[in-house]
Structure formats: structure tokens, C-alpha cells
Structure 1
Amino acid sequence: MKVTIVGTGYVGLVTGACLAEIGNDVFCVDVDPRKIEILNNGGVPIHEPGLQEMLRRTRAAGRIQFSTDVKASVEHGDIQFIAVGTPPDEDGSADLQYVLAAARNIGKYSNGFKVIVDKSTVPVGTALQVQKVIDEELKTRGLEGSDKHRFSVVSNPEFLKEGAAVDDFMRPDRIVIGIDDDDAGNRAREKMKRLYAPFNRNHERTLYMDVRSAEFTKYAANAMLATRISFMNDLSNLADTVGADIESVRRGIGSDPRIGYHFLYAGCGYGGSCFPKDVQALVQTARENGHTLRILEAVEAVNNDQKEVLVNKIVKRMGEDLRGRTFAIWGLAFKPNTDDMREASSRRIIEALLRRGATVRGYDPVARDEAERVFALDLADRPEDLKRLHFMKTQQDALTGADGLVIVTEWKEFKSPDFWHLKSALKTPVIFDGRNLYEPEAMAEMGIDYFAIGRPHVELDRNGSSN
């Protein structure tokens, strides 16, 4: 099938590569010539495991192309996926300017029946806005009402985890498709059924529903996952106060099959391109419709506060004035296996340490370049703080001579370090662990002062061993 993908971000690139992998003829278009140049030169503008290899195969097979030619992209695909960004507006609502611009281009250059697929995360009612914009363009061209130029707008939200997006697309647990129940919708349904047939051969994974329900489903799914994270983070702070171990609590409640273990880990807050903006957008949608989503407002507030918890532990241990102190930061991206720095907890933590006069040495296996770019913008009006922020090539470079280690992202290489070497490298053998990677008792036995999230702190005696 001929497919066009509008937007070459995480969702667009993964969708395009995976659809090309199973044999479709895919045209990826983007208004950013820099991205297209990178892709045409064999590179990938984002870090996503398995994506570069898949793009290399499909490009060599001639099944995927990249261009800034909007007219050619519209003419190419019978199915037009809109996979552009929907950043939060000032009030937290989703900014749909890029979605509607893509829709306008489709209406401007449409040359036959098109299935327009909203793949971007968009609020309820967006499909109707897309339809109106395309109708306006067709009317301008004198093509309204022409069967040849009819179209159907479909909602097909993505459920991809950054760091595992390729696998999620190729082995989906569900495919949600929202389609209108009319003649054009029936034509669109047949095309979408054919497109996704390879993913349904062993098990039917497609859930058909009305368009508004499909749009709502994406927000509801992310809101539920964000709620589980904030729920555990809220409990972890109480566990700190009452002396309980949140890891034991997690195992105790997660063993209940009605609850399960997924997204039930305490930490230093969620980030990324999805959970923060989707929770905000759903809350704002409720307000616009006269409702208050009290649980989600609390979810957002808890997450916002949670990004300061690790800093509060550092201040309690070392004092408010951190001038002359150096901290090693392990992990900059918002989660492992990605270089995405959007809403990353490391940004809040590092800025707070710099504001208190500390020097920070950050390390991340893949996000170093992106972190440098982001912090240059974040700290543009704080040049003195920016001078005290250094990005290191190895975790050892960050560690040597530091007054403490702060773990922010749970990369695999951080899970089993040489603790005796780590202890000797640090000026002060103290770890502030925002992801609960280690056991408090084991750290204390090695003479490491260990502070985690919602886990008991084991006091060390004067000789550096546990009491």
C-alpha cells in the first residue's frame, strides 16, 4: 500500500519504518530540512533501539523515502498519517497548529480518495477540526462534494514506549481505530484493515470504535499510567516518614493480579513527551467542558513535587549552601534507551543544584549531545551556573573526586557497578538514588551512605560501617 507519514519525530519515524518493513511503499515528509538531510544521509535524528537498522533495510529495498516536498507526499499516499507534534499550549491544552497545517496541505493537494489518520496524540474533537480544514481547502479548489476527492478522518492513536517503540509497533497489544459509520468511513475501514492485517494474523488485536472514543482512549491510557507512578511516589514519601520500605510495599501490592507490577516503581518523577503533556491536556479538556479531574490534578501536582525530593535529600545531608561541592549525575534522559530530555527529572535536579552553588558533572550513555543543547537553552540567562555544568564522556569521569553520586535514570550499566571502586572514586562515599537501584543494607555494609526513595536509610558508624 502507498502510505504517507507527515512528521519524522518518534512516532512518525517508527510508524514509517515499521510499515515499510512489512512491505508498504512509505513516503515520509517533514518541513525541517535538517531532519530530512540526516535521514537521506543514512542517519537518524533520534535515538531509538532498532530503528536505524530497520531504516537501513527499508531504504535499501526502496520502500521508504524522505522529503520536504509536501505536494508529492500528499499525491503519494492513499493513507495519510499525521504524526506531528502537539506541544502543550500556555494553558496546558494541546497545540494543534501543526496537525491542522498538515490537514490543510492534504486538502490543498489531494488527488483522490484519502484516509487521513490522526496518529498524533490529540484531544477529543480534533478529527472534526481536521475534517473542516480539509473541507475548506477542497471547497476553495471547487472540489467539495466530488466523490473522487472524498476522504475519511480516522483516529489511530499510538501506544509506543520510547526505548521500545519498534518492538511495540511490530508486536502491538492492541490497535485502536476510530472510524465514522458512513460510506467514506466504510472505505477507510477496509483500507486500515488491509494495512494492519499483518499484525492480526495470529490474533485479532484491532479495536474498532467511534472517533471520539479513540481520541479519548489515548489520553485515558497515559493518564492511568501516570496515576500509578504518582500514586507510588506519594506513598514513598509517606514511607520515608513512617519508616516503611516502599520496595516491600510494591511487591506486596503488585502480587495482587488486579494491580500488577507495571508502572508501580517509586522514583524521582515521570517525564518525556507523553505523560506530562497528556495529563495536562486531559485536565484542560475537562475544564473547558465544565469538569474537574481531581485525581489527575493531584497526579500532576505529585509529579511536580517529586522532582524536588532528591534535591531535598541532598540538602538535608549536605546543607542548603552547596558552593564548593561537586556532584556526579548518572542519567540525563527522562528514561533509559532514549536521548529524550523533554520534562526529564535531571533538568530540575541539576538546575536546583547549580542554583545552590554546586558544580555538576553529568553522564548519560546516549543523551549527552541533547542534554548539552537543552541546558544551553535552559540556562541561557544563568551563564555563571552553566559554567559549572560539565557533560562527561564516561561514568567514571563524572564520578572521580565528586562529593556525591546522584542517580536519575536507570540505565542498565548503572545497576551493577564496582561499588568498591565507586566508593574510592568519590570524595564522600554517598549516593542519592532516584531510581532505587541498590539495597540499603548492602550499601551500608560497604560503608556507602545511601539515600533512596521511600527506602530505609541505614546509619553508618564512625568507621563507615552500618550500625
Structure 2
Amino acid sequence: MVDVAIVGMGYVGVTTAATLAHIGHRVYGLDIDVGRIELLSRGKAPFYEPHLDELLARNLERMHFTTDYGEAIPRADVVFIAVGTPSLPDGRPDLRYVEEAAREIGRHLNAERFTLVINKSTVPIGSGNWVEAHIRRSFSETHGEANGRFAVASNPEFLREGSAVSDSLYPDRIVVGADDPRAREILRKLYAPLVAQDFSPPESVPRPEHVQTVPYVETDTATAELVKYAANAFLALKISFINEIAALAEKVGADIRDVARGIGLDRRIGTSFLQAGVGWGGSCFPKDTAAILATGEEYGLKMPIVAAAREVNFAQRKKVVEKLLGELKIIKGKTIGLLGLSFKPNTDDLRDAPAYDIARELLEKGAFVRAYDPVAIPRAQREWNLDIEYRKSVLDVARGADALVLVTEWKEFTELDWTEVARVMRTPVLIDGRNALPGKVVQEAGLRYIGFGVPAHFPAYERVAELR
């Protein structure tokens, strides 16, 4: 067992804490938000994530949550930094929270033993040295010279919101970057149960049959930091690529779903992240692609492929409004309903959600905007300063509406009775922003169906969401 402290009880920190406790370690969760700590102490996550509350409650006896650095840090063999790194206006990540955490860790490290500090936050390449310098300076002010009493490593996360518990327990790979031999030894011990997969899986998240062991990738610190940015940039590229091809498919009358299937079955390409639609959002892709561009600029390096991926992606949101204008001709005074607010299903995360930009542009053009989301409405009411009418059901949104836009492909939306939806609308127009619906069924229900890169006519068969 390893004693672990995690600074920052946000999305990554809480999921990491629950996972490490589940595989047998003792975990101290630290955050300055008193309300968040109180929730976690009762086994409740401060955000929506399937199965996370259950994992927390099941392992609560090995977890302790606090707002006091002095209570958590001196007891830890390993300290994770998992605080937020939001984007600055120029695209660079804001590292103020990482710096504050590093300084507090340095003040409170146990001077009598070696401690490994791990960057879990997504930070620019080279941040390991920067974090180490802040810890060392703070440590020396409190304890005197460090003399090798700590080291800094990198351990990027690859969690997908909505499936974070599964991704944590059964990861595709574990990447660690460390330059100190003691750090590498501790990391191997920390992650041994995940690598060997010799822990008991929770009933609600069973171990997939194909997961026998987990690849463990050891690198130097800078390489591990770049792995994180490169992975997210590549996935963002795939989505933007298929959206660009979808625009061509609309021109030539091809079906982008079959195009995606046709290229995705090539094992060199793969079927994932080839779903055309309104594009990506969330906490990772927008921030990390901006950060990798900013890092390149620091070295005088242009990265036109990543820049183009961002340009294509954010243009997709405007295409929703363009499609509505094409159907309705005039938007001013019309009522438009949005189905889904979160940037993806199974989360209430609204960071850089396409729904925000779509709603804002519609409001600016004089439309009335209604919206429904199964879990994200309370958060939208707190975080979005937009004149949106929040409704309690799909039918409540659809009643008297001039058009609907599927923005987030929640299961509730993909299994709707579209006949009833069409019956209550003033103008039965549906923009499928995720190509997630059975277009032929929707049309037979009486709606005018408009997808992304999908022909206006449908064959006798209908395939939906094969590439999800």
C-alpha cells in the first residue's frame, strides 16, 4: 500500500483518488473548496459521472478528504497535482493553480523521507522542471536545502468523461515520465495492481474480457508531457477531418456515415472518432490543441495541421445556424429547441460545449431558444449568462417549436417517439448535430431531417451510430 495525497478534487483528481483507493492504496484528497470536501466525505462526487459515486462509497474507508495541506502532504509517499489549467486568451495554459499547489506542497513535505510529486494536471512540455523549482524553493524556505528529498514526475491522464471509471480501472495504457530512479520504482509499485489487473472489479463496471494486463510506458518527463498533448491533438484531428469530408459529401451527394465506415475498417485508421457533426468541445481538446500551438510558437514552430483542426471544428457550430437558415429562411422571432447542453453524453460538463455557441448565435439573430438536458440544466443555469428557456422534457421543448437541434446524443434522445415530437411542433424541422438518429424513421414520423454529410433521401435500410 502507498500513501497518496491528491491536490485538486476536480474531475481528474476525484476519479484518480477513487481508483487508487479501490486498488488498495490509502488516499488523502485535498481541495480548498469546503463544500466539495464535505460532499466527497459523504461519498458523493461534486459532478456527474456514471458509477463514480458508487466507487467512492465503496472505498471510503481508505479515503480522507481535507482542505488542509498540513494534514495530507506530510503523510504521503506520493503527491499528485491535479488542479485545473484553463486556457489564457493567447491559448497558453494558466498555471497559477499548479504554481500555488507546488509552493504549498514544498512547505508541507515531510523532511524526514523521500516524496514523489506527480504532475497529473495537463501542463506544457518542460513543466516538470518548473514545478520542481517551485517546490524546491518553497521547501528550502521551510526546511532548508532539499538534498534529494523529493522528485517530480509526469503521469498524464487519458480519461473520457462519461466513461472515466472504466478508463481509470482498465486503461489502454499507463504513461509515466520520470528522470529519478526512485521515482520510477515508486510509480511501478503504485500502478502494479492496474498493470497486472489483479484487483476485484466493481460490479457496476466489470472488467472487459480483452483486458488481461495494461501496457506500462516509461519515458523521461518531457516525453510524457508531450504524449498527452499529442494524443488529444490527434483525436481532435480525426473528428475535424471527418467533418471536412462530410462537407464534401454534402456537395457530391455521398453519405458520410458509409464513408466513415469504409475508411474506419482499415486498421491503420480505426473506426473511433469518425462521427461527423457539430464537433468537439469539453475540457481537453479545445484547451490542449490551443496549448500545443502556443508551445510551438514559443519555439518559432508553426503547427498548421493542428491549427486547421481547430478552425474546422469551431466552424461546425456555425453550420447549425446556416442549416436552420436554409430551412426556415428567417430565424428572427422563431423558436428553436436544443436537445442537449453538455459537450457529450453522460456528463454535466459544459466547458466549451457546442450548445453554448449555437444558443448564443441564435439569440443574437433574434430567435427564442429553449433547451433540455437530462443532467446539465442546473449547471447551465449557474454558469451560462444566456436567455435560454430551460424545459423539463423533450416534448416541452418541442411544443410549438419551429425547429429542433440535437446537440448532445443522450440515449434518451436517440430512443424517442419522433411521431409524438413531430405532432407538437409548429414546423417539424430537425437538425441532427451528431448524425445519431435514424433519419428514415425520423422522416417517416413526419419531420424534415437534416444531418451532417447525410443525403436528404434514405435507402430501405438504415444504419445508425455504428462508429460510436
Is the TM-score greater than 0.5?
A: yes
Pairing of 1:365-376 with structure 2 (within 5 A): 365-376=374-385
Aligned to 2:366: 357
Query: In structure 2, what is the Cα distance between the partners aligned to 1:368 and 1:434?
Result: 19
Pairing of 1:390-401 with structure 2 (within 5 A): 390-401=389-400
Aligned to 2:102: 103
The question of whether the paired residues in 1 share the 8 Å contact of 2:321 and 2:358 is answered with yes
Pairing of 1:42-57 with structure 2 (within 5 A): 42-57=43-58
1:196 pairs with 2:191:
yes
The question of whether the paired residues in 2 share the 8 Å contact of 1:119 and 1:157 is answered with yes
Shift of 1:216: 0.2
Deviations 1:89-138 (A, max 9, x none): 12101111111111111111111311000001111000000111111112
Query: In structure 1, what is the Cα distance between the partners aligned to 2:178 and 2:32?
Result: 28
1:319 pairs with 2:318:
no
The one-letter amino acid paired with 1:257 is R
Aligned to 1:382: none
Query: In structure 2, what is the Cα distance between the partners aligned to 1:346 and 1:123?
Result: 29
Q: TM-score, normalised on structure 2?
A: 0.91
Specify every segment of 5 or more residues in structure 2 that has no aligned partner in the other structure, as ranges: 197-211, 459-468
Aligned to 2:17: 16
Question: Stretches of 4+ moved more than 6 A in 1?
Answer: none
The one-letter amino acid paired with 2:145 is E
Query: In structure 1, what is the Cα distance between the partners aligned to 2:67 and 2:193?
Result: 29
Aligned to 2:140: 139
Query: In structure 2, what is the Cα distance between the partners aligned to 1:51 and 1:247?
Result: 33
Aligned to 2:168: 169
- SS of aligned partner of 2:136: helix
The question of whether the paired residues in 2 share the 8 Å contact of 1:320 and 1:356 is answered with no
- SS of aligned partner of 2:59: helix
Deviations 1:317-342 (A, max 9, x none): 1124421x212211110000000000
- SS of aligned partner of 1:141: helix
- SS of aligned partner of 1:163: coil
Query: What is the percentage of aligned positions where both structures have the same residue?
Result: 45
Q: CA RMSD in A?
A: 1.4
Pairing of 1:398-413 with structure 2 (within 5 A): 398-413=397-412
The question of whether the paired residues in 1 share the 8 Å contact of 2:170 and 2:214 is answered with no
Query: In structure 2, what is the Cα distance between the partners aligned to 1:420 and 1:146?
Result: 72
Shift of 1:213: 0.3
- SS of aligned partner of 2:300: coil
Shift of 1:142: 4.8
Query: In structure 1, what is the Cα distance between the partners aligned to 2:77 and 2:442?
Result: 59
Bigger shift: residues 310-319 or 214-223 = 310-319
Q: 1:267 aligns with which of 265, 270, 277?
A: 277
Shift of 1:423: 1.3
Aligned to 2:353: 344
Bigger shift: residues 442-451 or 13-22 = 442-451
Shift of 1:312: 0.7
1:230 pairs with 2:240:
yes
The question of whether the paired residues in 2 share the 8 Å contact of 1:199 and 1:205 is answered with no
- SS of aligned partner of 2:384: helix
Aligned to 1:463: none
The question of whether the paired residues in 2 share the 8 Å contact of 1:450 and 1:458 is answered with no
- SS of aligned partner of 1:309: helix
Shift of 1:439: 3.7
Deviations 1:366-394 (A, max 9, x none): 11111111223xx4xxxxxx2xx211122
The one-letter amino acid paired with 2:317 is K
- SS of aligned partner of 1:31: coil
The one-letter amino acid paired with 2:114 is F
Shift of 1:76: 2.1
Query: In structure 2, what is the Cα distance between the partners aligned to 1:366 and 1:261?
Result: 28
Q: Structure 1 residues 428, 2: CA separation in 2 closer, same or farther (over 3 Å shift)?
A: same
Aligned to 1:383: none
Pairing of 1:31-70 with structure 2 (within 5 A): 31-59=32-60, 62-70=61-69
Query: In structure 1, what is the Cα distance between the partners aligned to 2:63 and 2:272?
Result: 35
The one-letter amino acid paired with 1:401 is G
Query: In structure 2, what is the Cα distance between the partners aligned to 1:76 and 1:199?
Result: 23
The one-letter amino acid paired with 2:434 is R
The question of whether the paired residues in 1 share the 8 Å contact of 2:403 and 2:429 is answered with yes
Aligned to 2:446: 447
- SS of aligned partner of 1:121: coil
Query: In structure 2, what is the Cα distance between the partners aligned to 1:121 and 1:372?
Result: 28
Aligned to 2:203: none
Query: In structure 2, what is the Cα distance between the partners aligned to 1:273 and 1:203?
Result: 29
The one-letter amino acid paired with 1:337 is N
Query: In structure 1, what is the Cα distance between the partners aligned to 2:66 and 2:302?
Result: 43
Aligned to 1:179: 178
The one-letter amino acid paired with 1:426 is M
The question of whether the paired residues in 2 share the 8 Å contact of 1:269 and 1:303 is answered with yes
The question of whether the paired residues in 1 share the 8 Å contact of 2:246 and 2:453 is answered with yes
The question of whether the paired residues in 1 share the 8 Å contact of 2:19 and 2:165 is answered with yes
1:329 pairs with 2:329:
no
Query: In structure 1, what is the Cα distance between the partners aligned to 2:130 and 2:412?
Result: 46
Pairing of 1:408-419 with structure 2 (within 5 A): 408-419=407-418
Q: TM-score, normalised on structure 1?
A: 0.92
The question of whether the paired residues in 2 share the 8 Å contact of 1:432 and 1:452 is answered with yes
Shift of 1:53: 0.8
Shift of 1:81: 0.4
Shift of 1:444: 3.2
The question of whether the paired residues in 2 share the 8 Å contact of 1:82 and 1:116 is answered with yes
Q: Structure 1 residues 458, 204: CA separation in 2 closer, same or farther (over 3 Å shift)?
A: closer
The question of whether the paired residues in 1 share the 8 Å contact of 2:318 and 2:358 is answered with yes
Specify every segment of 5 or more residues in structure 1 that has no aligned partner in the other structure, as ranges: 380-385, 460-467
The question of whether the paired residues in 1 share the 8 Å contact of 2:419 and 2:446 is answered with no
Q: Structure 1 residues 68, 171: CA separation in 2 closer, same or farther (over 3 Å shift)?
A: same
The one-letter amino acid paired with 1:371 is A
Query: In structure 2, what is the Cα distance between the partners aligned to 1:428 and 1:319?
Result: 12
Aligned to 2:7: 6
Number of matched pairs: 440
Query: In structure 2, what is the Cα distance between the partners aligned to 1:198 and 1:33?
Result: 32
The one-letter amino acid paired with 1:341 is L
Aligned to 1:219: 229
Bigger shift: residues 273-282 or 90-99 = 90-99
Aligned to 1:465: none
Q: 2:304 aligns with which of 294, 298, 308?
A: 294
Query: In structure 1, what is the Cα distance between the partners aligned to 2:445 and 2:42?
Result: 50
The one-letter amino acid paired with 2:267 is P
